[in-house]
Amino acid sequence: MENKKNIIQELDISQLPYLQAVIKETFRLHPPAPFLVPHQAIRDVEIQGFMVPKNAQILCNVWAMGRDPKVWSFPETFMPERFLEVKIDYKGQDFELIPFGAGRRMCPGLNISHRMLHIMLGTLIQNFEWKLEGNMRAQDIDMGEKFGLTLQRNIPLKAIPLRLK
Ligand code: HEM
């Protein structure tokens, strides 16, 4: 940490590649907006041989894109390390990972979300030891999801902070 109090700050984010990788991997497997936001075609358009007719509603299934075995090795496995080896980011340039969308209607909250997520998660990990309710093992957590405009866990996560580190 750059500061004496060991409190994670915005300028530390670039020095924490594994934290960045964990957040990317979470966006890959559990995008908060699994179909982005619906768009509508304003005219007939052909994309790679597919005709999209005028007025068609377009949903972009980023949940499925994040699990596409043609793009990701071991797609169902939570493996942040994969992002240490490649330069894929979620800022709208790498189309295999677009949890905030891409193009001119992409999420304007990206920058603040990027900062907040790293600072909040980093602070929670840095300051507390954690355990799961009933001494459950991490590998036994039910990661099932409820689909909707936003993606939610089937069973809410109950993580218990044990003590200050
Ligand atoms: C993890 C956090 C967030 C995620 C994953 C997220 C994701 C998205 C997605 C997928 C879209 C639709 C993009 C598209 O149409 O292709 C969107 C739009 C939008 N987001 Fe976010 N968002 C997040 C946080 C925020 C925050 C913190 C704000 C405000 C401070 C915000 C404000 C907006 C607005 C205003 C739009 C509509 C933009 C438009 O239609 O032109 N978002 N967001």
Q: pLDDT digits over 97-140, tens only?
A: 999 999 999 999 999 999 999 999 999 999 999 999 988 999 99
pTM confidence score: 0.93
Residue 165 has pLDDT above 70, yes or no: no
Token digits of residue 85: 């080896």
Taking the centre of ligand 1 as the mean of its atom positions, its distance from the CA of residue 139, in whole angstroms, is 31
How does DSSP assign 66-114, residue by residue?
TT-TTTSSSTTS--TTHHHHS---SSSS-TT--TT--STTS-TTHHHHH
Sign of the torsion formed by the C-alpha atoms of 81, 71, 138 and 164: positive
17 - beta bridge partners?
Answer: none
% of the chain residues with pLDDT over 70: 96
In short, whether 107's Cβ falls inside 6 Å of ligand 1 is yes
pLDDT at residue 2, as a whole number: 55
What whole-number distance in Å separates Cα of residue 22 and Cα of residue 121?
A: 10
pLDDT band at 3 (very low <50, low <70, confident <90, very high): low
Sign of CA dihedral 119, 63, 95, 25: positive
Give the model's pLDDT for residue 5: 66
Tokens of 6: 């060991």
Beta bridge partners of 58: 39
Atom number in ligand 1 closest to CA 33: 10
Locate the domains of the chain by residue range.
10-129
Task: For residue 2, report the distance from its CA to the centre of ligand 1, in Å.
Answer: 31
Of all residues in the chain, the percent with pLDDT exceeding 90 is 89
- Which residue, by CA, sits nearest to atom 6 of ligand 1? 100
Q: Which atom of ligand 1 is nearest to the CA of 101?
A: 16
Distance of CA 23 to the CA centre of its chain: 6
Is ligand 1 within 6 A of the CB of residue 112?
yes
